[in-house]
């Protein structure tokens, strides 16, 4: 079994990719840099790969932007566009001697070529786990940098007026489960639906560590809060899951996105089994870009994710044998249907079941079949998410080769998964507990496949 290449998600032409790094909108294009191994299809020799896109769906890959050097790998970080158009990349220098520090590189040609600062590293705390700097512009002027002390489960904050000199302003954490490292923080100011209000949200990725590490593996979370004196404070609820699927990690947002929108891209992978994902000559894919916002439900503010969907041609709704590159819009009468079950059946006995259960108020996605079992002992199985609005009567599924993203509750509930349906046609069947038949609108996506 090998994974077919996605058509409208970002993948590298060849070699290993993990986290998105340095997402920036500049020169009318979306630029995505990413953790990349220029020399192979496994994690290692970490460098920043580079791709750009006019529409977030068609990507052109460019030469490696920041190359690893003797004694130094280039781990995750971010890019900001200055007022004069200069791009500043802040990245993790992961030195072979065991220190992780923040370094800077600049580009004056829109991200094609980069010069590393002579004064690097810019911030060295003498720490072995200080990484993933994310720089954001703050509304009252200046810049804020967030980075993690990963093992301490803390986000550390620095502020700067000129992107050169940084002053530590405080830290956030630890909160939430122990036995994990914190990685890839981001801070976004999100609009609350139906209001003119904007609220600060911290995005955070956590990866279980240690001998009895949680087999569920790595996952993304968010925290709703406020920013005061250069430090984030939690307002309510603590860490909440951002995506209840198995494969959404290290998500961060684009700097300088049009209209101040928060557009997130995440790595569709899980450190638990990323190294054995059967794709070649590439390994690693990004999620669909998702615009983030907040919705007030009762007393709580909850994260809403809206995917940037490719244009698609809607097929006859009875054509339920599809190419594995499609958008499925599933609708039913919530008053009559009861539990709705959707089965995607692929090669051999590979299947994915999506079950919407309004009585239990849950949405579950399970990966089954021999190829899922064989991939890794912790790969197959079911994930269950609470439904915020069980009476909503609708789901959107995006399938692109080995990638499945399920959106429910009008963007409140999202599950992203790698799936092993194979490269051939996928058979879709939808059924309900009652005689109601859910309608499935299938859109086949017209995007040219990148060549292997």
So which residues are the catalytic ones?
19
Judged by beta carbon, residue 75 or residue 232, the one nearer ligand FRU is: 75
41 binds ligand FRU (CB under 6 A): no
Q: Which of 65, 87, 250, 421 binds ligand FRU (CB under 6 A)?
A: 250
Q: Give yes or no for residue 204 binding ligand FRU (CB under 6 A).
A: no
Both tokens of residue 333?
A: 């009468």
User: With respect to ligand FRU, which residue has the nearer C-beta, 174 or 338?
Assistant: 174
Within positions 45 to 84, which residues make up the interface with ligand FRU, using CB under 6 A? Answer: 46, 75-76
Q: Does 247 bind ligand FRU (CB under 6 A)?
A: no
Is 420 a residue that touches ligand FRU (CB under 6 A)?
Answer: no
Q: Is 405 in the site for ligand FRU (CB under 6 A)?
A: no
As a three-state string, the secondary structure of 83-137 is CCCCEEEEEEEEECCCCEEEEEEEECCCCCCCEECCCCCCECCCCCCEEEEEEEE
| Residues within window 151-190 making contact with ligand FRU, judged by CB under 6 A | 183-184
Question: Closest distance between ligand FRU and the C-beta of residue 412, in Å?
Answer: 25
- Distance (Å, rounded) from C-alpha 175 to C-alpha 162? 31
Cα separation, 278 vs 342, in Å, equals 26
| Ranges within 83-122 binding ligand FRU (CB under 6 A) | 92
CB of 1 or CB of 17, closer to ligand FRU: 17
> Hey, CA dihedral for 312, 404, 285, 176, is it positive or negative?
positive
Q: Which one of 5, 31, 131, 283 is in contact with ligand FRU (CB under 6 A)?
A: 131
10, 15, 19, 136: which one binds ligand FRU (CB under 6 A): 19
Instruction: Tell me how far, at minimum, the Cβ of 100 lies from ligand FRU, in Å.
Output: 8
In the complex, the smallest distance separating the C-beta of residue 96 from ligand FRU, rounded to whole angstroms, is 14
Q: 48-71 as b/e, with b when 16 or more CB fall inside 10 Å?
A: bbbbbeeebbebebeebbbbbeee
Both tokens assigned to 293:
């916002």
Distance CA 164, CA 123 (A): 10
134 lines the binding site for ligand FRU (CB under 6 A):
no
Instruction: Decide whether 69 or 321 has the Cβ nearer to ligand FRU.
Output: 69
Please report how close the Cβ of residue 19 comes to ligand FRU at its closest, in angstroms. 5
Q: Is 370 exposed, middle or buried (0-12, 13-18, 19+ CB in 10 A)?
A: middle
DSSP H/E element including 365: strand 362-368
Size of the site for ligand FRU (CB under 6 A): 13
DSSP codes, 34-91: EEE-TT-SSS-S-EEEEEEESSSSS-EEEEEEE--BTTEEEEEEEEEE-TTS-EEEEE
DSSP 8-state class, residue 255: B
**448 within 8 A of 334, measured Cβ to Cβ:** no
Which position among 132, 247, 255, 400 is part of the footprint of ligand FRU (CB under 6 A)?
132
Q: How far is the CB of 37 from ligand FRU (least distance, A)?
A: 9
Is 206 among the residues that bind ligand FRU (CB under 6 A)?
no
Q: Tally the residues of the chain.
A: 452
| Closer residue to ligand FRU (CB): 131 or 283 | 131
φ, ψ for residue 4 (rounded to 5)?
A: -70, 150
**Using CB atoms, what's the residue nearest to ligand FRU?**
75
CB of 130 to ligand FRU, least distance (A): 10
Residues at the interface with ligand FRU (CB under 6 A): 18-19, 35, 46, 75-76, 92, 131-132, 183-184, 249-250
């Amino acid at each position: 079994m090998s994974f077919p290449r996605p058509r409208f998600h970002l993948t590298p032409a060849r070699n290993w990719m993990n986290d998105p790094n340095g997402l920036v909108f500049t020169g009318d294009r979306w630029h995505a840099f990413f953790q990349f191994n220029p020399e192979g299809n496994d994690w290692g020799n970490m460098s920043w790969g580079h791709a750009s896109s006019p529409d977030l769906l068609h990507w052109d890959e460019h030469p490696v932007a920041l190359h690893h050097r003797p004694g130094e790998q280039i781990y995750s970080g971010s890019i900001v566009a200055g007022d004069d158009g200069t791009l500043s990349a802040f990245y993790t220098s992961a030195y072979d001697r065991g220190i992780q520090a923040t370094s800077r590189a600049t580009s004056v040609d829109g991200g094609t070529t980069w010069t590393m600062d002579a004064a690097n590293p810019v911030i060295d705390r003498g720490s072995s786990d200080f990484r993933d700097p994310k720089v954001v512009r703050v509304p009252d002027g200046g810049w804020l940098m967030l980075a993690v002390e990963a093992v301490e489960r803390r986000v550390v904050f620095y502020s700067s007026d000129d992107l050169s000199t940084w002053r530590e302003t405080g830290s956030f954490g630890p909160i939430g489960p122990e036995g994990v490292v914190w990685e890839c923080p981001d801070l976004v100011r999100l609009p609350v639906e139906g209001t003119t209000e904007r609220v600060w949200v911290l995005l955070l990725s956590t990866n279980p560590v240690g001998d009895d590490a949680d087999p569920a593996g790595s996952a993304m979370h968010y925290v709703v809060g406020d920013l005061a004196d250069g430090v984030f404070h939690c307002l309510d609820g603590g860490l909440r899951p951002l995506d209840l699927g198995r494969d959404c990690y290290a998500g961060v947002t684009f700097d300088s996105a049009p209209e101040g929108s928060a557009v997130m891209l995440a790595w569709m992978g899980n450190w638990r089994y990323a190294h054995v994902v059967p794709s070649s000559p590439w390994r690693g894919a990004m999620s669909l870009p998702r615009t983030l916002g907040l919705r007030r439900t009762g007393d709580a503010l909850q994260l809403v994710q809206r995917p940037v969907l490719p244009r698609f041609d809607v097929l006859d709704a009875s054509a339920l044998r599809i190419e594995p590159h499609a958008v499925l819009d599933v609708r039913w009468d919530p008053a009559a249907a009861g539990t709705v079950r959707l089965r995607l059946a692929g090669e051999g006995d590979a299947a994915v079941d999506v079950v919407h259960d309004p009585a239990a108020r849950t949405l579950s996605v399970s990966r089954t079949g021999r190829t899922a079992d064989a991939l890794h002992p912790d790969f197959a199985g079911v994930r269950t998410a609470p439904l915020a609005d069980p009476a909503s009567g609708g789901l959107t599924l995006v399938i692109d080769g080995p990638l499945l993203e399920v959106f429910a509750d009008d963007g409140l509930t999202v599950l992203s998964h790698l799936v092993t349906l194979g490269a051939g046609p996928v058979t879709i069947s939808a059924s309900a507990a009652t005689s109601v038949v859910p309608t499935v609108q299938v859109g086949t996506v017209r995007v040219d496949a990148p060549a292997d």
